[in-house]
A and B are shown apart, each in its own frame.
Chain A
């Protein structure tokens, strides 16, 4: 065997690369193995149409932790995040435009409902407070519920103490967030349909739930925690597409001494004869690589059911892995455009398109979209979250041309005809999205140069996202914090010694956050009593 590494990381997505960077920073001989020829995993962009760069899967960034940007000096490696301002909800004959001007937004909401404008202030304040209360969890390694080491619990005790100190009204709001549906939660404040519907959307992204399903209120908060510039709740785009984020992290990792190989798919993890300790990996090419620690950034199902020989895991653990819910529910439609589409009713100019455009006219629209998905059909009239990255970042399209990214929900992985039928239904799915958007922007079809439709099946086949779940498993409450991915195994370790996890299936979940990768590396270094840097 040629080389021996301190750590081999399976998967070159943003989390795998982040783990590699932190381990290399601590002086470990580190190797990243990526199956595809392109780094980034789901954090990827590609010139699918000549001159047009699509952020093929994940398309906005908000949760990428500032401490990672600082600690890995990502700006020096080309990281440039641009804020995405405002949300435009087109309607038939009207619109709702919330923008990065507080007073203008309140005036706009007042046009719909005077009380909603006041409520909007109260709601924003409450969510900021909730986000502040819950945010430390994102940077905290969850405790093992069975641990008696008090140090493990310090962070949580602090959280409990903070909870006890919250005013009663906020405690109630917190309980509401943990238990209610997004629609019910928002109904407490607002009466304007397009406002509620648009806000409720963040409660369902990446879940197989509807806006009226209990538990979705919490996901509202999860997305509210997106942080740019230390301020809460802002979303951004990456210059050159999200793939540039992975490129920046990869460049930082390389500069710190990590080795990165693409086109190097891992077929399995090798174990000691006793089967309880990882010793390295075997590539699809047959090449064997020895390592002191193997870290998987693949999702939990791949990590345990595909990369390990059968029957090496404890049976109850394996059963829980099988029960972990993926249930991919979304698709992407990426369009190369000749010109911007014009929305029939708009405030003039093109500034209203510089943020998100949300096809979410009413809560009923949102819930009906889910109704179809429940029975294995893609939504004929889905919820669509559109951004035009070329409006903020001209580098992704030829001069004067545009890129339109449509995140579409619901596109259930499990079609009534089975996931395999996605290849037959994909075209119709893409057309349904274009038809729906065309209701509000009738010239859309005329300006489309080329389209790319990504189904959940594509996400599974091409990016290794099990069941096409963009977050490596649903962000539902029972799959978060110390239950993510498996109760008792939220600390990045696995039942196999020297086999660790660092992907989005782990705490704190999916999104281009990098916390998983960073926390896994720091926890591993701590466990090995190695210096962090």
Chain B
């Protein structure tokens, strides 16, 4: 049975059109308002509240907590000092990505290091299995911690108004404790939007109180709740991959081609092969030695005038979709299929049709022109898609 998140008593009342989807067994609003574009705009122009409580959250505690992290993630965890947050993938022994998420180093308690590990999929078995021989306990905090993202140009102003303290000094991918209306919360400078923003980690039993405090603080700034459809648009603009859409978790892959290494999903820059071992390292070394993987994640700008022409050929006015399509679509070079486009959507801010695609290495260089399948009125056509650097949209305020 699908259940509500800790914010459900509030979000349920706001969901005007009862547009829900499920996310890890929880109700998640697709859109609260008449149109997801209203929420998209709140994220890009003001501030939006996004309930991200369905994320899996684990608490790693013990003298070896950081060693466990270091054993699993592709980055060098020795740099994960208290107050820092890492975004990272982690791999199986074949160097294929299991999941990716943010890993937060909380303040040490006595001798114990404390980590908050977030993930899209359940990880407790993997974490405990790999904790063998280490002095660390892994506890599932998924239900005891509620999480809400405050994202947008005013994403700092609102939590500052709520907590009465400045976050201007809290750098990108840093975190610290704060008090919101008497509630102890943890604030991280993170998000899945490519915009200025924070995520607040809140004890579930006080989630509703915290929500009310944020709404009250955000009222003068026109803060709005935003759902998954708007989130999908902004993460596409930010060039952020989505599990089971842009790649398949190694855990769920049924055939070898469904499993992806970090180098294949644009996360190669995070991989640190030089500082100690981690699960999957040897496979990744071998992959690089063999010249790197045969396919890469690329950003695509899809020629809108050509899409218009396909509509016109059917006597139709062109229409741009308001939501991101997650239907994989073939993409060609010289008549041969060279990959697939996994997320496709219209960027309201760039006025461009964007795509994330997995294509052969030879076709991954920025500037490469490919032909992507595009269907209008159930008639197949192709349109030009140009490989471009990611992210598509990268406002300076994201890191400011």
Q: A: which residues have CB within 8 A of B?
A: 66-67, 69-70, 75, 79-83, 85, 99-101, 104, 128-129, 131-132, 228-232, 239, 390-395, 399-400
Contacts and interface: CB of A to CB of B under 8 A. Distances in A.
10 contacts: A75-B350, A75-B351, A80-B44, A80-B45, A83-B35, A83-B37, A104-B34, A129-B317, A392-B222, A394-B222
B350 A83 contact: no
Contact of A392 (B34, B45, B219): B45
A230 B346 contact: yes
Contacts of A99: 34
B222 A80 contact: no
A393 B44 CA distance: 10
Given A83-B41, A394-B46, A70 B319 contact: no
A83 B45 CA distance: 11
B393 interface: yes
Contact of B41 (A67, A82, A101): A82
A79 B348 CA distance: 11
Nearest to B157: A399
Contacts of A129: 317
A131 B318 CA distance: 11
A230 B318 contact: yes
Interface residues of B, number: 32
B221 interface: yes
At the interface, is chain B mostly helix, strand, loop or mixed? loop
A66 B304 CA distance: 10
A139 B332 CA distance: 30
Contacts of B318: 230
Nearest to B349: A75
B220 A400 contact: yes
B150 to A, nearest CB: 14
Contact of A66 (B34, B35, B44, B351): B351
Interface in B322-352: 322, 346-352
Given A75-B393, A85-B34, A230-B320, A392 B41 contact: yes
Contact of B348 (A85, A101, A104, A229): A229
B350 A80 contact: no
Contact of A70 (B154, B316, B351): B351
Given A70-B304, A80-B44, A132 B317 contact: yes
At the interface, is chain A mostly helix, strand, loop or mixed? mixed
Nearest to B305: A67
Given A66-B351, A70-B304, A394 B35 contact: no
B41 A231 contact: no
Query: Which 9 pairs from chain A and chain B are nearest by CB?
Result: A400-B220, A399-B220, A230-B320, A101-B34, A69-B351, A132-B317, A66-B351, A100-B34, A75-B350
Task: Kindly name the residue among B34, B346, B347, B393 whose own CB sees the greatest number of chain A CB atoms within 10 A.
Answer: B34
B37 A230 contact: no
Contacts of B351: 66, 69-70, 75, 229-230
Nearest to B47: A394
B262 interface: no
Contacts of B349: 75, 79-81
A393 B46 contact: yes
Contact of B35 (A69, A85, A128): A85
Interface in B272-320: 304-305, 308, 316-320
B38 interface: yes
Contacts of B308: 230
Contacts of B44: 80
B153 interface: yes
A385 B90 CA distance: 55
A108 to B, nearest CB: 13
Interface in B153-200: 153-154
Nearest to A398: B220
Interface string B43-55: 0111000000000
Given A80-B44, A81-B348, A394-B221, 19 more contacts: A66-B304, A66-B351, A70-B304, A70-B350, A70-B351, A75-B349, A75-B350, A82-B45, A83-B37, A83-B348, A229-B37, A229-B320, A229-B322, A229-B348, A230-B308, A230-B319, A230-B351, A239-B45, A394-B220
A79 B352 CA distance: 13
Task: Kindly name the residue among A80, A132, A232, A394 whose own CB sees the greatest number of chain B CB atoms within 10 A.
Answer: A394
Nearest to B153: A395
B56 to A, nearest CB: 34
Contacts of A85: 34-35, 38
A79 B38 CA distance: 17
A365 B347 CA distance: 41
B35 A100 contact: yes
A390 B45 CA distance: 11
B350 A69 contact: yes
Contacts of B322: 229
B222 A391 contact: yes
A128 B317 contact: yes
Interface in B20-58: 34-35, 37-38, 41, 44-46
B157 to A, nearest CB: 8
Contacts of B35: 83, 85, 100-101
Contacts of A82: 41, 45
Task: Kindly name the residue among A70, A104, A400 whose own CB sees the greatest number of chain B CB atoms within 10 A.
Answer: A70
B304 A230 contact: yes
Contacts of B305: 67
Contact of A393 (B37, B38, B45, B319): B45
Nearest to A125: B317
A75 B304 CA distance: 16
A229 B348 CA distance: 6
Interface in B219-259: 219-222
Contacts of A228: 348
Contacts of B221: 394, 399
Given A132-B317, A230-B318, A393-B46, A400 B219 contact: yes
B75 to A, nearest CB: 30
Nearest to B161: A399
Nearest to A83: B37
Contact of A231 (B46, B153, B316, B320): B320
A325 B220 CA distance: 45
A262 to B, nearest CB: 25
A248 B219 CA distance: 29
B396 to A, nearest CB: 10
Contacts of B393: 75
B44 to A, nearest CB: 7
Contacts of B320: 229-231
Nearest to B348: A229
Nearest to B317: A132
Nearest to A101: B34
A5 B219 CA distance: 52
B300 to A, nearest CB: 14
A70 B318 CA distance: 17
A24 B316 CA distance: 36
A230 B318 CA distance: 7
A480 B379 CA distance: 37
Contacts of B153: 395
A391 B220 CA distance: 10
A378 to B, nearest CB: 34
Contacts of A392: 41, 45-46, 222
